[in-house]
Structures are given as structure tokens and as C-alpha cells.
Structure 1
Amino acid sequence: MKPSLLLLVLITFSRTYAQKSEIFKGIGEIAEMEMRSHRNVIDASRIGSLTGASTNFDVKYYRCEWNVDPNIWQIAGKITTHFVMKSTDHVIAFDLADNLTVSTVEQRNISLPFTRSNNTITITFPASIPVDVKDSVSISYSGVPSSADAYFVTSTHGSGATLAPIMWTLSEPYGARNWWPCKNGLDDKADSIDVYITYPSAYKAASNGILTNETVAAGKRTSYWKHRYPIASYLVCFAVTNYLVFDHSLDILGDNVKMQTFCYPESQATFEAGGMAALNQIDFFSNLFEKYPFRKEKYGHVQFGYGGGMEHQTASFMGSMNESLMAHELAHQWFGDKITCGSWEDIWLNEGFATHLASMFMENKYPATAITNRKSEITFITSNTAGSVRVSDVNNINRIFNQRLSYYKGSHLLFMLRWILGEAVFKTAIKNYLQDPAIAYGFATTAMLKNHLETASGKNLNYFFDQWFTGEGFPTYHIDWYPSNNTVEVKLNQTTSHPSVGFFQLPVPLLFRNSVTNEEKLVTLNNISNGQVFSENLGFTADQVIFDPEAWLISRNNVLTKVSSSLPVTFSNFNAACSDNDVEVKWETSEEVNAAYFEVQKSSDAIQWYAIGQVEAAGNSQTKMVYSFNDIGAGTKQSYYRIAEKDYDGKEQYTRIVSSSCGNVSRLNVVLAPNPVKDRLIFNVDNQPENLSGSVYGINGIVADPRLSGLIIRDHNEIDVARLPSGLYILKLISKDQKTATSTRFLKE
């Protein structure tokens, strides 16, 4: 997104949300604040390769020792990595920005040779390390991290006499390598880390996990943070300034969870109050899906110099204590930290979920604003017709953190899944997803989430993810509705905003009302194709209808039209074909609301028509009809056919006209014995051709039983008709080349 367009979006967005309650800040505002932390100061053209680290080893542990001063933009450190070889090799490589200087690399205090290029450090061991063998290496380095990026920052807070320096890190998505040697990709979490931060003793430091020990010597303080959960490199963090620290705790389903807040002295009141408010959010989310995933250690807020937030594991960096922002960053501890997207193309598994859970919390606390907020979000999602939730360019930070797609639309995919599957099934699926041992405290893909949703629901969701995750755009519904007595007829059509999706399959909710009696009923129509017509018994005559009253669906510019007469039958298919010396006409409707019967009509000139058969309508369902009749008299002349649909109210409508010549088929000579038939129809055919097929029809020309249609007649000329009720039937036999055929009647006892 270009800066000028971004500014326009922000202005429009700000005006929209200015009309809302100050309590209920829009999730979109939070998304934009978060993205400013990543994109406004990052030049995507300089990203280069996402990771150059080798894949022949698995990180088990990082011991991070850093020496910093928030007054000085530089870092010195020593990172000791314990790893296990995945394949026998004598070389491994870590990610580390080229502008940082490596002084030594050691293996058990023995120096190792290394090379630097393309933001990697390649280390050579004196001998190959066998597969599955655990080893370690220590990298000592120092330097000034790039000032062009927002991954390592020094700044100030306060003013006048309270002015103080601050240093913080912010590594998402690619920036961990800019300030420490690690594996920078989304494929390897360390099982645990220890963080030792040494800095001037006037300050305090915050990091991941538990503050286990602090020592002060020679004007320097060293804080030791221990974290014993798997962690992705971009979630490792620290911040240093003159923090005030507040401790709280909460009992969550029998576990005592520590809450720790680090804030500037001038922000004491708001951050201390915010920390207390966050306890309710932890309780809400823990009861929603599962307990807080890092409950053996802590959850913390750490104030830093950006307006948004960053979900560092167990230590969310916060620009403010906005209630929605707190909920969003806390939700990331489940979605983003415990389970991390396995590719940046699946960032919605982090951001869409966090946005959605924050909405769930705010809707639970402030239900009066829920629908207004959902509608505003949908308006923003549909403000552009293109773009998929799947990130199409993982090298583009603006695309990864696209507010409209990764945050908003990702969140509303979950709204729609809740609507399609139901709340109970959806929650079961998400619980199973969070607790799946293959991905818990690891990485996940959209396919893995989809698998859990399908397993819990028993539904195939290929169509949904093809349309809503991979596909682009949204539907616009065109709805005709006709009330009659206590029923309503509804016809659904839709157009799509982007050619990648021709039709969006969704259950469509419509709320029908009678403004006089104040009666209302919510009707859900399973819309699987254009032109579907539904008939619903309301119990009253509706004079109003509201589309999607609770704003579950992503759609825009929907048009609802009340029509003055019953909705017409929709013919979706009609054709005529030869069968023996007979004509077989087939037609298909998408529905049959108000249809009484179908009349088969014939003409020799397509002008004058007469009826040759009649079939009763089946009712309000997708219907396939077959009518067969003898047309030998037509010879080789062209005949024309159509179907007239007759409504109960006397109206008619017609299919298109089709033609057929069916008088030039040679007739087979067939003998039935016995006839009448009790259980098995036995017949002999003179000069029987190969690949003969047979079908049994009722006297009305409709297939008598689907199991008795298109039967392959081989060595034994007999058909089991025991299931047929008593009556008169027609046996039709025809060769594969359709040059020989016959029809003969039989009586079933």
C-alpha cells in the first residue's frame, strides 16, 4: 500500500471509529498501530532472503548474554546454542546481519573457523557431527544494529527532569537476525532459553519468562530471565529503562498465574489499572478454549515507545493499555506464540485469531456495540474487491501485515466458520487444534486448522477455504422474496466481486418480521447455487426482511426485493434424446415452489403445440424428471419438444425448445416369459447385440426405480423386479450404438 493511499484509508477509518464508544476501540485501530511498529520504518526492498540458516540442525536451547546501555545504540553479546544434528555434517549456519561483528566462535572453549556473507555466519567444525548427536556452539559478537529498521531501538520517554532513555527489541517478522545470531525462519523453535541482560544499575530490564535472579556490581545490574517453553526466534525480546514493576496474580481453573507489569513512572496509574483489567481477559480466554499456555511462568506487559503492541512470549510490549489492544496481544499467547504460523503466508493464524478473540471478549463485555462493530469491520473488508487472506508475497511486509486482509478478513473467516459449524463444534475444533501434540508449542499451517475443523464437524470444508482463504473478493446478494399467508418464498442470486471465485457457498440468514404483530423469525437458507428458491413456513405474513441481522457474513451492496407474485420455477437443464423408437425428454429444476405439474408438449413446426404427457411436480426441492414416450410416427422427420410448468395459481412458463428425430431405429424382437411377472423379469432377444442395456419405466414414462436404470445386459437376460409395486411397466432395451432398440410392456403381480 502506498503512503498516500494508506493515509486516505487511515483518515476514513478514523472517521468511522470516531463515531463509536471510546470504550470499544476498533480492532482495526489496533491492527494499524501494530503494523506501524513493523512497516512504517522498514524498507521491504532491503529484506533479502528470509533466512540463510542451514536446516541440518535442530535448536534445543539458547543462552543469551547481552551487555547494553539504553543511552547507547549498540549491543554486545554471546549466544550459546545447544542443537542436535538432523544429518551428519561438519558445517552449520546461523542468521546474523552482516553489519554486526563476530569476534569468536567456540565449541567447548575451542575456537572454530567461520565465514560471513549474505547475513549468515557459517561455522566449520573440525569433524563431522553425527546425526542425533547433541552439541553446542557459542558466538560472541558486537556492533550497532541497523538504524534503518525498527528491530532494535533506542529512544526516550518522559520530558524535562523525567526524561529517560529506553531500549527495546521488536523482531517480527524478519528482524531477529538484525541484533542476535539465531535461526530466523519459521521452522525451528528452541525448547527453552535463558536470558542474561547486563546494563546500568539505574534501570530495570524485562524479557521472556521468569525473572530468576538479579545482581548488581560496579554500577551494572544483571537480570537473569528463565523461559522453559518452546519459543520462535522473533518472539525473543528485551527492553531496558527506568521501569516501575507491578505484580499481580490470578487463579485460573486451579492454577495460580503471575501477572507482571513494567511501565514508565509517568504511566503508573494507567498501566497498573490495565494490568488488573487484563486479569479478567486471561480468565475469559482460559475458559473459552484452554488455560493460559504459559501459566507456569507469567504473563507480562512491558511499556515501549510505539503506539501498538507486540506479542512477545509471556511479555507483550504495549504502547498503551487500551482494552482491545490488551485483549489482542493476550490472545496471541495462544495464537501466534503457543501455536505459531508455519509460514508468513499463514499470518492470519496469528493476526486473524488475535483480532477475533479480542472481538469475542469485547462483544461479551459490551454486547450493545457488537453488531455495529461487526458491520463496520465488514464495510472495511469490502472497501476493496481484491486480495486473499493467504499472503501472496511473503517478502512484502506491507502485504503480510495488511490490516484489511490479515487482521479483519482473517477474523471474519472465523466469524463465518462459527456460523457455518455452530459455536459448540467450532470451540471443540479450536480446542483440539490448540492441544494437538503435532503443533502445540510448535508451528501450524492453514491446512492443519482446516483438518481440525473438518474432523470436529464431519464436514468437507475444501470449498470454504478455496473461496475465502485462497480466493479473493466477496458476494453481493440479490434476493427476491414473496410473502403469502404464513409462508414466504425466497430466491437467492449472487454476483462476486473478483473473478477468482465464481460463487460463495454460505448459509444465508434472513430475519422476517411483521411490523404490526411484532412477530419475527430467523430463517437460514443453505445457498449452494445461484437461482435457488426456498419456501419457508413463518407462522405469520412477513412485511419486512433483514439480511444477516447479526453480521456473520462478508458481503456488500445486497439488494432485497419484495415481489408481488409467486416466484417462478427455474429450469436448470432440458434436453431430448432417442431411446429405441421413443423420445426421452429430461429436465431439471432448481426448485418447484408453487408448481402443480409439468406438461410435456410436442410440435411439428415449433409453432402449434399439443400435450403428449403430464408429470406431477415434486415440491420444493431440486428435481430431475425423465419422461419417455413412443414417437415412431415421426419417422425421420424433425419433431420439437418443450416443457410447460403449470402453477397452482394458473400461471405457466416454458423451457427452451429442443428437437429430435427418433424414427429410424431398428427394432429388436423380444419375448417376455412369464408375463405377468412375480419376482424376476426373464426375456429372450433375437440376434441380441453386444453391450445391450436395459431400463424399467413406469407407464407414465418415468424411471420406475433408479436401481433399474441403465442396467448392462450380459449372459443372463433377467432383471430382479421384486421391489417394484404391482402395476404395468415398460422394459426398454437399446444397444450401445443406439441403432437397435425395443420397448415392451409387462405386468408386475
Structure 2
Amino acid sequence: MRLILLLFIMIAFVHVQAQFAPNYQEEIERISQMEQKGFQRRRNGDLANARTSASQNFDVKYYRCEWEVDPAVRYIKGVVTTHFVMTSSGNSITLDLANEHIISSVTRNNVALSFTHMNGAVTVSFPVPIAGGVKDSISISYGGVPTTAFSPFTTATHGPNQDPAMWTLSEPFGAKDWWPCKNGLDDKADSIDVYIKHPAIYKAASNGLLKSETPVAGSGVITHWKHRYPIASYLVYFAVSNYNVLNNSVDINGTAVPMQTYCYPENQATFATGAQNAMNAMVQFSNLLGDYPFKKEKYGHVQFAYGGGMEHQTCSFMVNMGENLIAHELAHHWFGDKITCGNWEHIWLNEGFATHMASIYIENKFPANATVYRNAQINAITADSGGSVRVDDVNNPNRIFSQRLSYYKGSHLLYMLRWILSDAVFFSGVKNYLQDPALAYGFATTNDLKSHLEAVSGKDLTYFFDQWFIGEGYPSYKVQWFPEGNNVQIKVSQTTSHASVGFFKLPLPILFQNTGTGQQKLVVVDHTTNDQVFLENLGFEPNLVTFDPEKWLISKNNVITKSSDPLPVTFETVKVQCLGDQPQLIWTTSEELNADHFEIQKSSNAVNWSKIGSVEAAGNSTDLKHYTYTDYTTQANGDYYRIAEQDMDGKVQYSRILRNTCGTLQKSDLIISPNPVADLLHFRTNGENRGGMNVSIYNADGHLERLEHVSQTNSNSINVSAMQHGVYILQVEDVVSKSIKAVRFMKE
């Protein structure tokens, strides 16, 4: 989607930072209002047919578009030939075209076909039904004056001589206002050819590669553009004016990609400078995301007189060459053009990503201002207590193009994913998403992105998208800290701004500093439950604490306080070990003030918890205390545990969440101990194994780590002291019977 104004101001001097955030907030409001009004005007008077009336019994393969225009005259006529494949048998198909156009004929192989044209739809009838899977084509000859207010088909003037200009801009539903097509987010043509007949004093721009500019009788020219990538109807465009054409090229991994800029003569200098910035951004984005998606053809800019930009495929409309606008529209060629949101509920896949990539470009060029940019976005996001990234009303233009939610909250959702997964994992998952054959040059939803991030990271991100994509609002944190020499106790609590999310699960960055010595350490605590307490060794005593110093997270009204007294309980260690198949919880505390008892809680999903037992606390004590609790309720692995310390005054604080890995992979008589193991792993099997046993150890990824042959005795052992910490599988095979037994163990 276009950006109506610049989202960022290029900051040349550091002293501008203090003034940046208020100005940026005003920019957000103006951008949002203008986009929403533009979309609203395009829908007024045609609400029932704002999207598409096209039938679903055919798949568009190719459009041949032949148009005749004069930028000084608001009128278009032409012939659009649609090649298609029937997806099911039928004796008619329906395309979209606004009523103000007069259709002179519809033909197939130069034979006239009957048709109806009403309510923004053209229904073409065939003499006999066409079977599913059959290829065919029709040509629609038409002409008219598109009359929609704030039209997708616009004429204007520019420059000191008031030179005429004409352009089209169709997002989201405006393509049918000026040409017959399928107007929805469900079908991309595999390719297009555009032929524009216009007065010879002008230049005409469109998608793809310029193939020819052929003079015709009467001082006219036919300009031919050829585009051989799949394209959504709203991304098809043309523009005609007295353009100056600037030609450059940029190397993208060995391919010289043409950079072609069509600008008004009076603005050539600024557009030439902007083209270089676009080439720099293209190299940067190609390194992060994979090569520019249309590198076999071109990228470029076309100047127009509307306030902002629009990511027409292979050539973005630009009102000027502001750097953020350049980066935003270029990024759309990965997010919006190559992969298009499958419906407007998921518009953030276009706008959130484009906003985020523009931020990456700006941060890379002006790194000293990165936190200023991020903080301005966070302030915009948290200006209201509710609102989800998912569009819950696709009929509401204010909701679809919400600057606060679709653009900035969508962008900061990606900041948080980068923070959780790491940049390496995040961008690997995004590359896979962009290169997925089922999605590339097609349509996608949020679940498609989620699946690719999960596949690369090995993490279940359901909780994250439930909280941040579907859920509303944001957390506010209260961080209490108490220094104990080089150690620090940290207690983290949160409240949420909206009832749809009771708790936001995030790793939290907290920066501890000693301003006198210059020492500092960034501590990351995995905040999985409210009122969680952590103990960290800093190596120095801090006097300054900063929450989320680099502004990765969406939050507001955070409070950091230094406690004058130790926090009630300090969990030194918390772990699960195995007694056979039974999980045993072991924890130690070094501080217990006002503690009454420890409640053992269990969960199948780490969300819903139930009490399974309790252990009395030592009470007021500063000595190291050791506790154990064995769970005999189940032998199945996969359960989660946590320890809830109950104070005498009714307050509760929780340990970190633990995972039970003590269950066997299958019912067997293979017995191991101890589990977890530090040095020697002892194991035995019931029954005789006269030929001995082959013993294998696999890591959690299924790769073989050890293979040994042992003679059968009542007890055997393997030295695993050199193995790294982690979860492994011990497999024992009887060499005679070939029976296999396996059990999981933890290496400390």
C-alpha cells in the first residue's frame, strides 16, 4: 500500500533526535487519515461490489492489454484479451468492469459472443459449455470515462507549464474502474503484455520490460511493455506524461538489474539521487531476503502527483524520493508483490513487513537514531489500549489501513520475533517463506509465515501469534531488583492493557550498569509467569538499570525499582531428574523471607496449571535449603512443572517452568540410572541376551553419537562424561533376537 507521507525524516545531526518523536507522531496521524479517506472514497457508492463479482470457474493465465489514451483528456479505450483455463465446466464466465464503460464487443477467435454488463460485472456466455481444464480466451473492446471519486484512473498537471499527466492506481479494489479483470485477492495472471497508444510527445510507463516504442500515423506512438511474472490485478498500471527517463543498473548477485526512473523534468535531480538510494536498498534487502524477486526484468520509479507511493510490480509510484518511502515501496516487491496477502485480514504481511524493512534500511544508514525510530513506533502502537494486528473488520477501511495496527504494530511484531528467534533464525525462516513454491508469486496468510518460522527455529510459536497477532493490547512491566554484591535478584511482574491477553510471554532484556566503572551486562530473563524471580551473577554491583534498552518489545508504563530488602525467595537451582520413569523435582533456595510452603503445579501445555502436591518451607532463613518432590501420578513424558512459593501473607511467586523428559520412548524393561547423568550411565535389561548387545546413543536430532558392543551382564555402564549437555536416547539391540529397547536420558 502507498505511504501518503514520509514515515521518517532523514536525520543528519544527532541533536535532531529530541524533536523527532513528536513530529513523527504527527506524521502517523496524517498518513493514517489520508489513506483511510482515500480507500473510503473509492468504496462509496459501490459497497456491494467493491471487491469482485468475477466468477470462480476460471483461472487467469495471461492478459493482453491494448489501451489508447491522451493525458490531456480524461478517457480510456482499449481491448483487453484474457487467456484463461476453466477450473470447472461452464457456459459462461464473469469479469469485473465498472458500469461507466461502454463495451462495444466481446469476441472469441474474432467471433462475437453474447454478454451482459451490469452492477460492475461482465458476464460472457459461450454457445456450448467449456469443459474443466480447457484453455480459451476472450477479447473485450470497451471505452469510457472512469468517474469514481479519488479515481484509480487520474489526470492532473505538473510543473511550471502545467504539463498533463495520467496514471492508474488500483489498490485495493480499483482495477475494475478502468479495465476488465478479476479484481480480487484470489487469482494472479501468469504474465501480461501492455500496449499503450499515446501522443508522441509523451512517454508511457508500465510493468516489466520496455520492448518497443513504435511510431504510428498521426504523431502517435505505441509503447509496448512485457511482464513475465505472476501479477495481481491491483498491481497492473500505466502512466503517461512528458517524463524524463533515467537509466541505471545495479548488480544483484551477478545479475545486472536495470533501474529505470520516469520523472517530471523539473524533478530530475532529486529522482536521480533517489535512484541511487533505491539501488543501495535493493542490495541490502537482497542479502537479507534473497534476490530482488523481479531481477530478470527491472525495478524503477514513476513520478505522480498524489501524496505518497504505490508498489506497482517492477515500478513504484513516488511523489518524491524520501528515503523511507523508497525503502518501503521497494520492500513491497518481496512482501505484497512476490507474495500477496491472501485476504485483507492479513494485510500486515504486506504493510508490516514493508514498514519493518524500511526501518531496517534507516537503522542501517543512521544507526545512532535506531532507538528513536523504534520508540516512536512503540508510542504510536501504545497510544490506545486495544487493537490487534489481525484485521477483524475487512469492510472497515479505517481498520484495514490502520497506521497504528497494520503498519506499526505489524512491524514491531517482527521486531519481537527477531528478538525471540535471533536474526539468523528469523531471516532464514523468512527466506524459506519467500521461496516456498506453494507461496512464491502467489498468496499467503499469517499461518504460512508462522509455519516457516517454526520449522527453522524448532519452536512452537502458537502462543506468540495468539498473543500478538490475534490478541490486543500490550504489557506494562514492574521490575524490582536487589543487589547482593556481584549478584542481583530480579522480580518481574506485568499487567496487560486489554482483557484479550492475560499474560504476554516474552524474553525480557534488562541492562545493568555501573556508571562509575563503566561495567555493564545485558541480562535476558525468560518471563513465562507473573511475579517471577531470577538470580543473576553480574560480576559487579550495578547502580543503573534500564528495561529493553534497544526497544525490541511493545510495552508501556514500565517501572523499575531498587528494593531495599531481599526479595522473599531466591531460587538458586530448579531442575527435574528421573527416578526410573518418575520425575523428581529438585530445588534449592538461598533466601526465604515470610515463606510458608511450596506448591507443586503441573500442566500439559504450560498455560493451564493444577496443583499436585506441596512441600513445607523452612520459613525465615538465609541458609541454602534443599527440597525434593517426586511425581508418581504419571509415567508419560511431555508434562510441564513449576513451583509456586506461597508467602504467609498470601503472595505468590513462581519458579521457571520445567519439562519432564523422564518417560520412556516405548514400554520396555530397559532401566537406566542416574537420570540426569554426569559421568557414568548405568543400564540393565531384564532377560537373557546370550549374544550380547549393540548399544547406541543418539542426540535429540537423531544423529548417532556413540556405538558400542557389550556382553550381557546384570548391569552395564557407559562413560558419557565427554558428551555435551542435552537430551539423548539410549538404544539397546539384542544381537540375536534383534529386539530393540530405547529410553531417553539427560546429560548434565
TM-score, normalising length from structure 1? 0.75
How far apart are the structure 1 equivalents of 2:94 and 2:280? 44
Task: Tell me the residue number matched to 1:129.
Answer: 130
- Aligned twin of 1:215: 214
Q: In 1, distance between residues paired with 2:485 and 2:570?
A: 23
Find the counterpart in structure 2 of residue 100 from structure 1: 101
The equivalences for 1:592-631 within 5 A come to: 592=589, 594-595=591-592, 626=613
Equivalent position SS for 1:647: coil
In the TM superposition, residue 570 of structure 1 has moved relative to its aligned partner by 9.8
1:40 is matched with which residue? 38
Flag the 1:18–1:231 CA change in 2: closer, same or farther, 3 A. Answer: farther
Summarize the Cα distance change of 1:22–1:563 in structure 2 as closer, same or farther, 3 Å threshold. closer
Partner of 2:681: none
Cα shift at 1:48: 2.7
Residues 20 and 350 (structure 1 numbering): CA distance in 2 closer, same or farther, change over 3 Å? Answer: farther
- Give the distance between the partners of 1:400 and 1:623, measured in 2 at CA: 41
Structure 2 counterpart of 1:548? 548
- Following TM superposition, by how much is the alpha carbon of 1:531 offset from its aligned partner in structure 2, in angstroms? 1.1
* 1:472-504 residue CA offsets vs partner (Å, 9 max, x unmatched): 110111111111111111111111111111111
Q: 1:357 to 1:81 in 2, by over 3 A?
A: same
Unaligned stretches of 5+ in structure 2? 9-14, 572-584, 601-608, 626-645, 652-668, 670-714, 717-748
- The one-letter code matched in structure 2 to 1:64 is C
RMSD: 3.4
Tell me, yes or no, if the aligned pair for 2:570 and 2:590 is still in contact at 8 Å: no
Give 3-state SS (helix, strand or coil) of 2:38's partner.
coil
Corresponding letter in the other structure for 2:38: N
Aligned to 1:74: 75
User: Where do residues 581-660 of structure 1 align in structure 2 (5 Å cutoff)?
Assistant: 592=589, 594-595=591-592, 626=613, 645-648=619-622, 653-654=647-648
Deviations 1:548-588 (A, max 9, x none): 000000000101111111111499xxxxxxxxxxxxxxxx9
Matched, 1:171 2:145: no
Tell me the SS of whatever aligns to 2:619: strand
Contact 1:33 1:308 in 2 (8 A): no
Determine if contact 2:309/2:325 at 8 Å carries over to the other structure: yes
Cα separation, 1, equivalents of 2:466 and 2:336: 23
**8 A contact 2:21–2:376 mirrored in 1:** no
In the alignment, residue 418 of structure 1 is paired with which amino acid? Answer: R
Letter in 1 for 2:621: D
Q: Deviations over 1:680-728 (max 9, x none)?
A: xxxxxxxxxxxxxxxxxxxxxxxxxxxxxxxxxxxxxxxxxx99xxxxx
For 1:323, the equivalent position in structure 2 comes to 323
SS at match of 1:540: coil
Aligned to 1:59: 60
How far residue 37 of structure 1 moved from its aligned partner, in angstroms, is: 5.6
Q: Using the TM superposition, name which of 217-226 and 433-442 deviates more.
A: 217-226
Distance in 2, Cα, partners of 1:23 & 1:221: 49
Residue 224 of structure 1 aligns with an amino acid whose one-letter code is H
Q: Are 1:112 and 2:113 counterparts?
A: yes
- Gaps spanning 5+ residues in structure 1: where? 1-5, 11-16, 572-587, 601-613, 617-621, 629-641, 658-678, 680-721, 724-749
Question: What does the per-residue CA deviation read over 1:72-98, in whole Å, with 9 as the maximum and x for residues that have no partner?
Answer: 112111110000010011111111112
The residue correspondences of 1:149-548 to structure 2 (distance < 5 A) are: 149-159=150-160, 162-217=161-216, 218-548=218-548
1:251 CA drift (Å): 1.4
Amino acid at match of 1:145: P
Determine the C-alpha separation between the residues in 2 that align with 1:503 and 1:168.
49
Q: Is the 8 A contact 1:385 1:498 kept in 2?
A: yes
Structure 1 Cα separation of the partners of residues 235 and 599 of structure 2:
69
The two structures have a TM-score, normalised by structure 2, of: 0.75
Q: Residue 647 of structure 1: CA displacement?
A: 2.8
Q: Confirm or deny: 8 A CA contact 2:515 2:543 kept in the other structure.
A: yes
> Quick one: which amino acid aligns to residue 234 of structure 2?
Y
TM-aligned CA deviation for residue 537 of structure 1:
0.8
Q: Is the 8 A contact 1:531 1:590 kept in 2?
A: no
Residues 127 and 398 (structure 1 numbering): CA distance in 2 closer, same or farther, change over 3 Å? same
Q: Deviations over 1:638-690 (max 9, x none)?
A: xxxx7563331799952769xxxxxxxxxxxxxxxxxxxxx9xxxxxxxxxxx
Question: 1:513, 1:615 → 2: CA distance?
Answer: 35
Aligned with 1:386: secondary structure?
coil
What is the distance in 2 between the residues matched to 1:542 and 1:380? 32
Q: Cα 1:456–1:395, aligned 2, differ >3 Å: closer, same or farther?
A: same
Do 1:568 and 1:593's aligned partners in 2 also have CA atoms closer than 8 Å? no
Instruction: Give the secondary-structure state (helix, strand or coil) at the position aligned to 2:413.
Output: helix
Question: Displaced runs of 4+ in structure 1, greater than 6 A?
Answer: 20-25, 588-591, 596-600, 622-625, 649-652
Query: 5 Å matches for 1:725-740?
Result: none
Give per-residue Cα distances to partners, 1:443-477, cap 9 Å, x unaligned: 11100000000001000001110111111110111
Q: C-alpha displacement at 1:276, in angstroms?
A: 2.1
Aligned to 1:732: none
Q: Give the secondary-structure state (helix, strand or coil) at the position aligned to 1:180.
A: coil
Cα distance in structure 1, aligned partners of 2:19 and 2:85:
53
Counterpart Cα distance in 2 of 1:300 and 1:35: 28
**1:223 to 1:416, Cα distance in 2 relative to 1, 3 A:** same
Matched-pair contact (CA < 8 Å) for 1:114–1:123: yes
The one-character-per-residue Cα deviations of 1:45-71 (angstroms, maximum 9, x if unpaired) are 433332110111000000011111111
Question: Secondary structure of the residue that 2:48 maps to in structure 1?
Answer: coil
1:210 shift after superposition: 0.6
In the TM superposition, what are the counterparts of 1:129-148 in structure 2 within 5 Å? 129-148=130-149
SS at 1:39 equivalent: helix
Give distance in 2, aligned partners of 1:550 and 1:514: 18
Q: Deviation per CA, 1:265-321, whole angstroms, max 9, x where unpaired? A: 100111112112211111111111211111111001000011210000001000000
Aligned residue for 1:560, secondary structure, equals strand
Amino acid in structure 1 at the alignment position of 2:97: L
Distance 1:644 1:205, change over 3 A: same
CA contact (8 A) 1:533 1:590 kept: no
Highest CA radius of gyration, 1 or 2? 1
Match of 1:192, as an amino acid? S
Give the deviation of 1:19 after TM superposition: 5.4
